Chain A
Amino acid sequence: MLIRKAPDLTYADVTPKSLYLDRRRFLRGMGIAGAAALAGARLWNLASPRTQAFAATKFDGLIKSPFSTTEKQNSYNDVTHYNNFYEFGTDKSDPSKNAQKFQTAPWTVSVEGAVKKPRQFTLDEILKLAPLEERIYRHRCVEAWSIVVPWIGFPFSALAKTVEPTPKAKYVAFESYYDPKQMPWGKYAGIDFPYVEGLRLDEAMNPLALLCVGMYGESLPNQDGAPVRMVLSWKYGFKSAKSLVKIRFTEKQPPTTWNRMASNEYGFYANVNPKVDHPRWSQAKERRLGEFFKRETLMFNGYGEQVAGMYNGMDLRKNY
């Protein structure tokens, strides 16, 4: 057998120590520049109206989040070519093909219900509600696969605060866009549209609950729920409604699409829980895309520290 030598790296390839140490100063500088950009240039960029439906807007000066994981991120290609968005077809490769022409501009989100200041937000208004953060989250599908994605957005609570929920508001209902003309594949999906989801108010106000406008440094691609969606890292993926057009604060628990379709399989809470199996498959393990062996699924997808308190005293076998 031929044993090859390692690729030739000579001493000249070693980074000089001064440069190496300068790295820290460079990074600190980046942080300051980033913060400055945040106040100025970024808002300017974002405020300018989007003229094209598919041109991805680059987001600069994103705030790093302490909630981000350091795990290896999945590739942009994997995340954009393997996902569920049943309005565009039920195969996981369908959304990438069928959502290309999805019109996401102009876009408005109606925020209504038990709030003092109901209103419609344009996408640009949403982008100005709070500084944008990059949050690298684990994302676990109920189908037992998972990904790590650098999402961009801000806590949903920032939006909620601007409309001032009244004491009657106990839940938040989310509704996705549905247009059978743009989404003819929805007819064969076997579920009713528009897609609706919901959270308890405290869940929606949890700092982890992200109102998401982008990923991988850019605006959301159509197939991943452009232009604005929820990302709920401790829940199964189907809770994170895509392409939001309506957010309603309600007194009663709102209906949710998959729960309505099969209530014994999909609960209202749908917290990631390795101990409670889906009736048809185990939730104990998951396949991280790009990995050969399955890995153990973590309680609350590993976000227990931030969210477990909200479910104290609840029987999670019943409230699955």
Chain B
Amino acid sequence: MRTLLTSKWTKVVVFLVCLMPLASLGWRALHNDLSANPIEFITHATGDWTLRFLLFTLAITPLRKILRLPDLIRFRRMLGLFAFFYACLHFTTYIWLDKFFDLAEMWKDVAKRRYITVGFTAFVLLIPLAITSTTGWIRRLGGRRWQQLHRAIYISAICGVIHYYWLVKSAVLRPLTYAVILALLLLWRIAAKYWPQPRPAAVDLPPKPQRAEA
């Protein structure tokens, strides 16, 4: 398992797999299979994948500990950046295909409609995280400060789920599913902090900057 996780090819494969949702959209677009309302379809698909990648990213730390696979850390940055990537596509769809770059309209929306306010917040919070995701930035900020900054992903993910919950008309089942998974991932962190396991190695240590892959 360890050799598999540390192989550079695994990273390439994971990278390609992460592109599959986009490839699927492209494929559907070519085959006229984006439903009768393609713009809505793209908006929903990119939004869904943003949330999923946020949850994948947040699942890395618990899985490392629970499965005792510390090497999973090699994929965290990539998954986080894919969350940002799909968030960018989602936001671009909104600002371009929904608002047609009418920034005044967009600001009105952000100020007036709480589901957009909270979704926009989730997106903006991801920007500094994406920028400071490089090894250089980790070094510049120092591990502890970098980690503190990157805790913003918790707020971003919470805002993202609320964004989804607030926009549905009545079918709350899917947003609630995301909410439950997110709650479990966050509760695990609280539990790990306040009820540390006897062996110190199992405590959620801040990732050491030098471990991060270039």
Residues on A lying within 8 angstroms of B by beta carbon are 74, 77-79, 81-82, 86, 90, 92-93, 143, 145, 188-191, 258, 261-262, 280-282, 287, 289-290, 292-294
A282 closest partner in B (C-beta): B109
Is the pair A287, B37 in contact by a Cβ cutoff of 8 Å?
yes
13 other A-B residue contacts (CB within 8 Å) besides A92-B36, A92-B37, A191-B170: A78-B36, A79-B36, A81-B36, A82-B35, A82-B36, A86-B170, A90-B170, A190-B168, A258-B169, A282-B109, A290-B36, A292-B39, A292-B97
B178 within 8 A of A: no
Cα of A78 to Cα of B38 in the assembled complex, Å: 11
Residues on B lying within 8 angstroms of A by beta carbon are 35-37, 39-40, 97-98, 100, 109, 113-115, 166-173
B39 closest partner in A (C-beta): A287
Is the pair A188, B39 in contact by a Cβ cutoff of 8 Å?
no
Is the pair B37, A145 in contact by a Cβ cutoff of 8 Å?
yes
Q: Smallest distance from the beta carbon of A285 to chain B beta carbons, Å? A: 10
Most buried by A among B37, B97, B100, B172: B37
Please judge, given known A-B contacts A188-B173, A190-B172, A190-B173, whether A280 and B37 are in contact too, CB under 8 Å.
no
Is the pair B35, A92 in contact by a Cβ cutoff of 8 Å?
yes
Chief secondary structure at chain A's binding surface: loop
Cα of A189 to Cα of B147 in the assembled complex, Å: 40
Q: Smallest distance from the beta carbon of A174 to chain B beta carbons, Å? A: 19
Residues in chain A near residue B172, CB distance under 8 A: 190
Residues in chain A near residue B167, CB distance under 8 A: 280
Is the pair B171, A82 in contact by a Cβ cutoff of 8 Å?
no
Q: Smallest distance from the beta carbon of B170 to chain A beta carbons, Å? A: 3
Q: Smallest distance from the beta carbon of A19 to chain B beta carbons, Å? A: 36
Is the pair B37, A190 in contact by a Cβ cutoff of 8 Å?
no
Is the pair B171, A190 in contact by a Cβ cutoff of 8 Å?
yes
Is the pair A280, B171 in contact by a Cβ cutoff of 8 Å?
no
B100 closest partner in A (C-beta): A293
Is the pair B170, A261 in contact by a Cβ cutoff of 8 Å?
yes
Please judge, given known A-B contacts A90-B171, A188-B171, whether A281 and B37 are in contact too, CB under 8 Å.
no
Cα of A143 to Cα of B145 in the assembled complex, Å: 44
A279 closest partner in B (C-beta): B113
A-B residue pairs, 7 tightest by C-beta = A190-B170, A82-B36, A90-B171, A78-B36, A289-B36, A191-B170, A188-B173
- Checking B39, B109, B113, B170 against A189 with a beta-carbon cut-off of 8 angstroms, the contacting residue is B170
Cα of A282 to Cα of B106 in the assembled complex, Å: 12
Cα of A82 to Cα of B36 in the assembled complex, Å: 6
A83 closest partner in B (C-beta): B36
B99 closest partner in A (C-beta): A294
Most buried by A among B36, B97, B171: B36
Please judge, given known A-B contacts A280-B113, A281-B113, whether A93 and B35 are in contact too, CB under 8 Å.
yes
Residues in chain A near residue B169, CB distance under 8 A: 143, 190, 258
User: Can you give 7 A-B contacts (C-beta < 8 A)?
Assistant: A188-B173, A190-B170, A190-B172, A280-B114, A287-B37, A287-B40, A289-B37
